[in-house]
Structure 1
């Protein structure tokens, strides 16, 4: 009776746990696109002022969970499981997150392989600046500084202070920004940042023009600006070694309905665009951040001797072998064959003894053949593939290599015939000499 009551109490307890957020996660090896995303806002009004961007995510199947950044119930994980695949921080002025969320929790979220979008503005808090700094992007130390450009600014009814700038300095990468070129320039109003030179994982996606600089628009410059020219990054991305992706923008307004719908005309140019390139830009770059594009996987790694089909447990020196691997790219909805001519395999022991570029049938299958080197030991088939914008592939498969057995050597070697002849001629000469010496008078 007592056990029955304990069983009933346990059923009541576990039935009260909200398991739905955990069970509905779609992030997996078979479907790498993020699905459930936590959106943290400074103000509820951002949900409507940035609705076009949010609607584009929802139309692509994302489940957005909107919360205020200071919500006391904020948490990214429960019972050791992450509740979200991605995080959008549209809370530039927040000095401290609510609940259990803090700087360490955000960095741990990235370290666990999840993706983040961080948007700042001229009122960016130290918290947001520190998150960006940990990802390799250093915002201007002057809290009143914004990006100004007196040449590449947007023409408007009021001349203003030229802080609404125009830029088309985009990274040349089809995988990050899509294959179709963004024709219209992009409007930007916010703060600039520089990239940490010691961090080679962070890239500029949108840069300022050579005439831009970072300063306080309401005061005269007394010293040269700390950031100027094309060294100013407006939007940057980071792909960590665990393939987690982070986008850092110095402008929250970049994602706003106002700039997404606005027409644009660069100062000094007669051509006017009815619509800025902001919407195309934020949609395409968000596809990359949330793994709708540029995600690779390798399957069916195999090798065997030429003329055979079974994978051996050991190779012999000078064996001829074949190596195969299939590589696919996620398109957002399905896996498609990945086609490239720069995938290489190493036959590795302490250092690569063989380095071969793999051939492809353009249907996902890569292959090559080579001769096992005349060195025995424990080798590895190793692929270390890193390409701009794509997730990295790191594959290794260990195989021992043995020398010839005593009965596998050739009985007679053609190149040794002169030595064979010398040996037999020596024996014949000694025999003749012995006969002559013993039986001659």
Structure 2
């Protein structure tokens, strides 16, 4: 019996290692294994276009009911998945060992998360969002209503179906191809916690929108209104984990993907909404198919040399080089930007320079070591909207001149030299006159 148990554990361990071999790594940062939790397995067909787009791009999707008692994110201390999709807005308690703390630990480990809510969002989903700086409307019966930017439909007066087109202006988040058609949205709004600087609006409501119960009269001002309502938001944590929050599960549905759309007050009618393009491009960012940077071959040396020294001397001329690449979803491509800076740092930056690039991934600059000795650091702290952050630091000591490295005669000391020799000459003349005069 013991032999059988040991063999079972061994086989399970080998299977786990094989499963992890193609997972998220420095050389292949795109997520591969994604757990999808749903309230009803019928979502596999009603949202099949979205799931198919992920599978076409090489993702392995594992569908489970959110209350499945066998749910587990990790085994033997290793995570089984690179990403998690929560399409279960009504769930009150997850099955297995999954809870809010486990999901937050999953994100803290650098994994990615997509959360979709709707008008029936449970406290569990709201708590997960709140921990990430996203606050869904506290009124559980409230949805986003817009009498100015609603989608024209056969149901007159129902302005809970919104045609939203206030997108964030970022190519890395939404791709270089402009989204022409508005996005259909039906669900709840949320606000962003001002204390969290990492959360970002991707799709905002129009100035005429507000959050309220559409089945009752509005007796007091709504808690959320205007452009402050966020419909879709993202978070990039300090460990570069990425999280997406949507107030609408229908946003990802086949119905909304295929529906024609016309925004109220506009004569433009589109045969297809912008949902599919919007969701697809945004999911590429969330799962690190775009906007993921890496820095390699960090090096520095004196100008005219190639070897990296163990110590610099004050006033040395040095050169600093680093190569930066961006993951395209299948390969590493040179990253081109004009805002990558290097600091030569000791307590505070003594040198701050913007590096030049050859547009092939290489960034370089040269500068003179300050006339201050001590322990310095080369620091590159690069943070740009939508891109993973880079933090590079390398310590190097700087020494003063040795006694035999100073110039024999320092030009600035000539007045002192003159004063010394003139004093000696005056003393000689005084002594001669005093000794030999009567």
For residues 340 and 277 of structure 1, the distance between their equivalents in structure 2, rounded to whole angstroms, comes to 29
Residues 332 and 13 of structure 1: CA distance in aligned 2, closer, same or farther (over 3 Å): closer
Residues 24 and 418 of structure 1: CA distance in aligned 2, closer, same or farther (over 3 Å): closer
Q: Which residue of structure 2 aligns with residue 15 of structure 1?
A: 11
Are residues 1:207 and 2:204 paired?
yes
Are residues 1:319 and 2:321 paired?
no
Q: Is the 8 A contact 1:21 1:83 kept in 2?
A: no
Are residues 1:178 and 2:191 paired?
no
Report which stretch shifted further, 414-423 or 204-213. 414-423
**2:137 equivalent among 137, 140, 145:** 140
For residues 154 and 16 of structure 2, the distance between their equivalents in structure 1, rounded to whole angstroms, comes to 54
For residues 132 and 251 of structure 2, the distance between their equivalents in structure 1, rounded to whole angstroms, comes to 20
For residues 388 and 90 of structure 2, the distance between their equivalents in structure 1, rounded to whole angstroms, comes to 32
Provide the secondary structure at the position in 2 that maps to 1:19. Answer: helix
Q: Give, in angstroms, the shift of residue 318 of structure 1.
A: 0.7
Residues 7 and 216 of structure 1: CA distance in aligned 2, closer, same or farther (over 3 Å): closer
For residues 17 and 335 of structure 2, the distance between their equivalents in structure 1, rounded to whole angstroms, comes to 35
Q: Give, in angstroms, the shift of residue 180 of structure 1.
A: 0.9
TM-score after normalising by structure 1: 0.97
Q: Which residue of structure 2 aligns with residue 430 of structure 1?
A: 427
For residues 314 and 231 of structure 1, the distance between their equivalents in structure 2, rounded to whole angstroms, comes to 53
Structure 2, unpaired ranges of 5+:
none
TM-score after normalising by structure 2: 0.98
Residues 172 and 302 of structure 1: CA distance in aligned 2, closer, same or farther (over 3 Å): same
For residues 302 and 20 of structure 1, the distance between their equivalents in structure 2, rounded to whole angstroms, comes to 34
Are residues 1:107 and 2:104 paired?
yes
**2:327 equivalent among 327, 330, 346:** 330
For residues 9 and 385 of structure 2, the distance between their equivalents in structure 1, rounded to whole angstroms, comes to 49
Q: Give, in angstroms, the shift of residue 343 of structure 1.
A: 0.5
Provide the secondary structure at the position in 2 that maps to 1:268. Answer: coil
Report which stretch shifted further, 427-436 or 304-313. 427-436
Structure 1, unpaired ranges of 5+:
none
Q: Is the 8 A contact 1:264 1:275 kept in 2?
A: yes
Q: Which residue of structure 2 aligns with residue 352 of structure 1?
A: 349
For residues 9 and 303 of structure 2, the distance between their equivalents in structure 1, rounded to whole angstroms, comes to 61
Q: Is the 8 A contact 2:20 2:80 kept in 1?
A: no
**2:301 equivalent among 304, 315, 323:** 304
Q: Give, in angstroms, the shift of residue 22 of structure 1.
A: 3.6
Aligned residues: 437
Are residues 1:71 and 2:68 paired?
yes
Q: Give, in angstroms, the shift of residue 12 of structure 1.
A: 4.8
Q: Which residue of structure 1 aligns with residue 385 of structure 2?
A: 388
For residues 12 and 346 of structure 1, the distance between their equivalents in structure 2, rounded to whole angstroms, comes to 54
Q: Which residue of structure 2 aligns with residue 418 of structure 1?
A: 415
Provide the secondary structure at the position in 1 that maps to 2:423. Answer: helix
- Report the RMSD for the aligned CA atoms in angstroms: 1.3
Q: Is the 8 A contact 1:348 1:380 kept in 2?
A: yes
Q: Give, in angstroms, the shift of residue 19 of structure 1.
A: 2.5
Q: Give, in angstroms, the shift of residue 274 of structure 1.
A: 0.3
Q: Is the 8 A contact 1:22 1:81 kept in 2?
A: no
Q: Give, in angstroms, the shift of residue 10 of structure 1.
A: 3.1
